[in-house]
Amino acid sequence: MAPRVDALYFFLLGVSGFFSLLIAGLIVYYAVRFRRRAPDAIGARIAGGMVLEIGWTVIPLLITLVIFFWGASVFFAMARPPDDTLNVYVVGKQWMWKFQHLNGQREINELHVPLGRAVKLIMTSEDVIHDVFVPGFRVKADVIPGRFTQLWFQPTKPGRYHLFCAEYCGTKHSGMIGSVVVMEPAAFQEWLAGGPSLSPAAEGEKLFQSLACITCHRADSGARGPSLEGLFGRPVALSDGGTAVATPEYIRESILTPSAKVVAGYQPVMPTFQGQVTEEQILHIIEYLKTLRPAPAAAIPVPPAGAPSPAARPQPKSSPKP
């Protein structure tokens, strides 16, 4: 991204510099050229100049349009990561950066990435707004509590690059710094394999057991909560008649504020897990849910002919009996 951002930036500097010099130069030149030569001299009356008016309207319009389309194309390239990225989770916290790779390797204030591979950071904050800024890569994005933001880059040169927090986040904001280490792919694989940690999905599975999510969200029928198999990324029918898509935001909200969106056919009985799970753990649970495939077709009871449509099927056993 750096050469593209720089090219646009130097173009802006060039245009600004050119017009600043042109205008300042003309002011000085005309001040001298048309100075009052005799004490009783009177200036000529000028009614206007259509060519001039059109010229200084149309030329700046064209230049600003160039800047607009150029800027928009760079913006789109930054906002749209390619499909095949190496994903890394980032949690910002007063005052450190926590990174976790999908194999479980974790690091603090240091991010190792392989050369030449597009990397996508999926980021959230444990407390206040932070901002990931890697000046060497010309990328920067806010890290916001309660939301997932993303940022992507493709390193082209090995080395160590500054990483800053670019949003004032409290006393030690200026100390919230680190580095991005770009390694040769083979060295990166070696480094990555050195981690003893569980993968985020495995951590999530452990949490799913230890927080007892599993007691209600079982795959069998009759569970108190909806089954979560194959949930990720799918639309969910809600009890208020609306639908939601099972995005990371939806899952996070359902963990922290379960009553906000209740799945159709279920009672709002789930307690909040606010204060019991960290943002990192929520990311782990999301990774775990991604791994839950829908149950094989044979395991799904086939409704007998004439039975109500599947949409009306998920009636919990705990609903009041007539």
Question: Residues in the site for ligand CUA, rule: CB under 6 A?
Answer: 92, 95, 130, 165, 167-169, 173, 176
CA 73 vs. chain centroid, Å, equals: 19
Which pair of structure tokens corresponds to residue 16?
A: 């600004």
171 or 309: CB nearest ligand CUA = 171
For the bound state, the minimum distance from the C-beta of residue 218 to ligand CUA, rounded and expressed in Å, comes to 40
165 or 285: CB nearest ligand CUA = 165
Q: At what angle do helices 2-33 and 50-79 cross, to 10 degrees?
A: 160
Q: Are 100 and 89 in contact (CB under 8 A)?
A: yes
For the bound state, the minimum distance from the C-beta of residue 140 to ligand CUA, rounded and expressed in Å, comes to 12
- Which H or E run contains 20? helix 2-33
Give 98's strand partners: 91, 108
Q: Are 118 and 152 in contact (CB under 8 A)?
A: yes
For the bound state, the minimum distance from the C-beta of residue 95 to ligand CUA, rounded and expressed in Å, comes to 6
172 or 313: CB nearest ligand CUA = 172
For the bound state, the minimum distance from the C-beta of residue 127 to ligand CUA, rounded and expressed in Å, comes to 9
176 or 251: CB nearest ligand CUA = 176
For the bound state, the minimum distance from the C-beta of residue 132 to ligand CUA, rounded and expressed in Å, comes to 9
Instruction: Give the 3-state secondary structure of residue 237.
Output: strand
Q: N- to C-terminal Cα distance for the chain?
A: 64
166 or 246: CB nearest ligand CUA = 166
